[in-house]
A and B are shown apart, each in its own frame.
Chain A
């Protein structure tokens, strides 16, 4: 297996696990995660304020 394939495979497994974990959360916990993820793209710009 090529190195790039291994990386892709690992990333895929991690994403799958994250998806399964997310499905186990309550509606309330999902909203907490969603709100955090919604703001995640701004973390780097916020660091520079």
Chain B
């Protein structure tokens, strides 16, 4: 008699989503998490009274997250105190131009027209096209399994509207922006978002160009910190009987005759269950926790061919003044071609410059309770950082780099910053790897281009090991808060169907 009906490895958003839904199905479910808190990249930690979000700093596509809560008999809005972020972001262009993108499409159109009147019509056409694509994707893509070709046929027959957007699958993010916008500043203002999926504009698939539009359907911050979302999933799951153990690391998945039968913990304890769900990096799962001896040769080749996604160094700052910024998010960006050049000439060469670009998240703007009275929280999401730094290790470089980057931001984007820092922490790709056990600090698990998507991403229902299912960023539909939560819904549906 197995100890549990299902064991979930990892309490990230995907793991908690599937765990809670398996409990809802009436399965005795255990979630095992190696760290001391839930959420993975969507988590919050405290230092000297300041609360910092580890990775994710807002959510989009709240509708998808809400579906997961509806399946649990509640709603996202009842479970999480969400603060709308409007404007979606302020963007600081390299030439000094500053733009604000309000939620309302017509207000953003006015902002675009202020900079480049000829692109206002492009914005209208872009918005209309991407609105159609986003809604077709929500219905037909986000919560549909993509395990095999039959699933793909089902996906397109259930939502034939997706076929209309075929050109987005064979072009780049950059091509899509260049098609709709002529002015380099407008293009620049929407280019950085390609890194939200881990690639520069010229390599990022065209369908992700919906991001600058989807932000206008609503961007929200979870009051109290982003951990509010996974904590709500945990709470709902526990009400339904889901059990969760923190600081419990899985050493390996027990496999017999190519069937998962349980897990062994680091202390040697074995826990059995007929269904194992992994919310960790798929390469880590198959190569380390399962072992290549259990995998067919073609699976081994396919697995090794997956590259890890980029890592994102971050600096967490507690400050004793109100920073002179305008909104929750400020994007500090570069012209589109310079973002591409950065990828090849800097990031791929193992370099990490001081003259940075990235996101400034002023989270205490949306929730002043994140810092002591009169103080604020700023999180600098920096440019993609190489796992192996040229010339020296991250640990050696960290103190000096942090000081220089804070000074750079102070001088260029946040006047007074350097004089008001009370708490500062720098999380490098190596720190992410140590803390989240995410190989190479990859924040989206595996690279996310067309050749790593849908049926070419590790399957939610394992093709190599029976009784093994995947959720999280490694599987369809990929990395991000709403997408990993929907991967949990997909895994739960597959388990209900097959187990």
Contact = CB atoms under 8 A, between A and B. Distances in A.
Interface of A: 28-29, 31-32, 35-36, 39-40, 42-49
Contacts of B286: 49
Contact of A46 (B148, B202, B451): B451
Given A40-B451, A44-B298, 13 more contacts: A28-B172, A28-B337, A28-B340, A32-B174, A32-B203, A35-B449, A36-B450, A42-B451, A45-B303, A46-B305, A47-B148, A49-B282, A49-B464
B301 A42 contact: yes
Nearest to B300: A45
Contact of B303 (A31, A35, A40, A49): A49
B137 interface: no
Contacts of B299: 45, 48-49
B302 A36 contact: no
B449 A46 contact: no
Contacts of A47: 148, 302, 455-456
Given A31-B203, A32-B172, A43-B456, A48 B450 contact: no
A45 B305 CA distance: 8
Interface in B215-236: none
A10 B366 CA distance: 62
A43 B463 contact: no
B456 to A, nearest CB: 4
B132 interface: no
B322 interface: no
User: Which 9 residue pairs of A and B lie closest in terms of their CB atoms, listed nearest first?
Assistant: A45-B302, A42-B305, A39-B451, A45-B301, A49-B302, A46-B302, A28-B202, A46-B456, A48-B298
B358 to A, nearest CB: 22
Given A35-B203, A49-B303, A28 B298 contact: no
Interface in B427-465: 449-452, 455-459, 463-464
B451 A36 contact: yes
Main secondary structure of the interface of A (DSSP, over half): helix
Contacts of B415: none
Contacts of B459: 49
B172 A39 contact: no
11 contacts: A32-B174, A32-B175, A32-B202, A39-B305, A39-B452, A40-B451, A45-B305, A46-B457, A48-B298, A48-B299, A49-B303
B452 A46 contact: yes
A35 B299 CA distance: 22
A32 B205 CA distance: 9
A29 to B, nearest CB: 7
A39 B307 CA distance: 10
Contacts of A49: 282, 286, 299, 302-303, 306, 458-459, 463-464
A49 B451 CA distance: 13
Nearest to A38: B451
Nearest to B343: A31
Contacts of B464: 48-49
A40 to B, nearest CB: 7
A21 to B, nearest CB: 12
Contacts of B148: 47
A48 B232 CA distance: 35
B296 A28 contact: no
A48 B305 contact: no
B481 to A, nearest CB: 24
Contacts of B298: 44-45, 48
Contacts of A32: 171-172, 174-175, 202-203
Contacts of B302: 42, 44-49
Interface in B139-181: 148, 171-172, 174-175
B284 to A, nearest CB: 13
B306 A46 contact: yes
Contacts of B458: 49
A18 B351 CA distance: 36
Contacts of A31: 202-203, 340
> Among A28, A43, A44, which residue has the most Cβ atoms of chain B within 10 A?
A28
Nearest to A48: B298
B266 to A, nearest CB: 26
A43 B457 CA distance: 10
Contacts of B306: 46, 49
